[in-house]
Amino acid sequence: MFTTDELATIPLFAALGDKELEYLAGAVEDLHLIPGEYAAHEGERRFLAVVAEGKTELTKLVNGTERVIGIRGPGELGGEVPMTLGTPLPASMRAVEASRVIKLTTEVFHTLAAMAPEVAATVGAAAVERMDMLRSATAQPKDAALFVIGPRLDAGVHDCDGFLHRNQIPYERLDPADPDAIARTGTAGDSVPGPYPLVVLRDGTQLIGPTKRTVATVAGLTVTPSHARYDVVIVGGGPAGLTAAVNGASEGLQTGLIESPGGQAATSSRIENYTGFPYGVSGDELASRALAQAKRLGAEIVVTRRVESIDPAEMTVTLDGGDVLRTKSIVLAMGVQWRRLSVDSIDNFVGSGVYYGAAPSDAGLAQGKDVYLVGAGNSAGQAAIFFANHARSVTLLVRGESLAESMSHYLIEQIAAKPNISVQTQSEIVAVAGDEGLETIDVIDRGTGETSTREASVVFILIGAEAATDWLPDEIARDEHGFVLTGVDARNTTDREPLALETSAPGIFAVGDIRSGSVKRVAASVGEGGIAIAMVHRHLQFSARADANAR
């Protein structure tokens, strides 16, 4: 810890009396950093840092690259701007050489400021000087890694948009008639012709109607596993799968995750009941944070690949294209799929007027339009509230007699307070029509029996979910609805009782929405993802013990 004599040599504290110095000595943290070690990361809770010894640098992610935006030596401050403005840390602090840093939490700083107001004045003045540095670092527009050209309502364009957004790839979408699109493609005319999407790279390379895998490859994402053997392979990239990846990688397991990140939660426009986010968090923001965390800790995220089969006896995972991954354990975290609406020809408009789920990245689809939402659960309610801020009107079509049967009370109250949201109960879509995209829907009122035709170019469907587990081997038992059985409900071929999240195939675990009996809440999925890794460790111990006995 710092002594009062050491603190008195720091310019910020040099004029303090014995009482204030004694308080500081008993309250501040003494951070000893080795070269390259971080004292704090961008976005973390604010605190004031004072370099006592050595040299540190402030870094910030700009266009996906960590840039050094400032150097701090002995006596200099870090974190003075967020401490003054009450915001999270706008930059990270990293040691350039062996350093010693004094850390004052918000509570310590405020107490000291009350005892010695001149300290707060000095920090405030320093914050003003630093604002220009931060303004310059953040003013640069995000460079697009590629350009997606095509109509917003085109199915392929929407699919490409969603994929790039979920995977945090900076891109710019351009309409075919946009002068920038015409200039980038060298098109002769007033519009870039299809087929769409047309993806243009920075070097001018043009990809016509590329597959997701092609887009992922040129964007620098991992599409081919780099290891032949893993400690744990996770199938699915929703909250449960990403949490398992974070925990597995952080505990030193060779961790591979197969599937595009996000899961069904990524299509939730706002999750209000997840602990730690008092004002809610969007599903794709939560997925993006977990994805970045898993990557930072060393998990390998393989996208655009489909798991074709699992062999429980050999403990292998076979991907489309023939790659076979050998592993010591498997975590099934595929989540569920949105239930499809049974209306003739509706599949013809998926991606061009009809959308399953509703992510914040879909805001542009709703801008200024009359939007219809089908569903009565919390996801539908959250989407209605979100789109009300973008659409001219939002109509919630509910098959039941009221929202109270299936929606949380707080959402019902928020919907009632939005003047451009209307709720129509006992109503269902019975027909859709349009040429290149959705144009009209027929809605029946089951109460009156009357059917009305309405102009509609955007319909979001959120009517529950179902399991897609037909591809799993027979060794992994499922219930009558296709959800994977675990724990005491699962048959097991070993002498021991299955672990709580273990399936009927030893060493294979199921977590999140795909698991039979799961709570179907994000917080529960996150918890199960963490618990699964603890059980993977136990399984590995059982296996090691069995191998030793066999020898």
Instruction: For each of the domains in the chain, give its residue range(s) and CATH number, in order of start.
Output: 4-138 (2.60.120.10), 146-218 (3.40.30.10), 229-336+467-550 (3.50.50.60), 346-465 (3.50.50.60)
pLDDT-derived band at 438, boundaries 50, 70, 90: very high
Q: How far apart are CA 537 and CA 19, in angstroms?
A: 51
Check residues 407 and 61 and name the one with the higher pLDDT. Answer: 407
Q: Beta partners for 508? A: 330
Q: How far apart are CA 160 and CA 481, in angstroms?
A: 31
What mean pLDDT is reported for the chain?
A: 88
Q: Kindly tell me if the per-residue pLDDT of 272 is higher than 90.
A: no
Distance from chain centroid for Cα 180: 30
551 CB neighbour count, 10 Å cutoff: 5
- Number of alpha carbons in the 13 Å side-chain half-sphere of residue 403: 25
pTM of the model as a whole: 0.78
Q: What is the mean pLDDT of residues 55-65?
A: 80
Q: What is the pLDDT of residues 33-44, one digit of tens each?
A: 999 889 888 888
Q: Kindly tell me if the per-residue pLDDT of 262 is higher than 50.
A: no
pLDDT-derived band at 451, boundaries 50, 70, 90: very high
For residue 242, which of 527, 539, 546, 535 has the smallest C-alpha distance?
A: 527
Q: Kindly tell me if the per-residue pLDDT of 136 is higher than 80.
A: no
Distance from chain centroid for Cα 420: 29
Both tokens assigned to 421:
């949201």
Percent of the residues in the chain that have a pLDDT greater than 70, as a whole number? 94
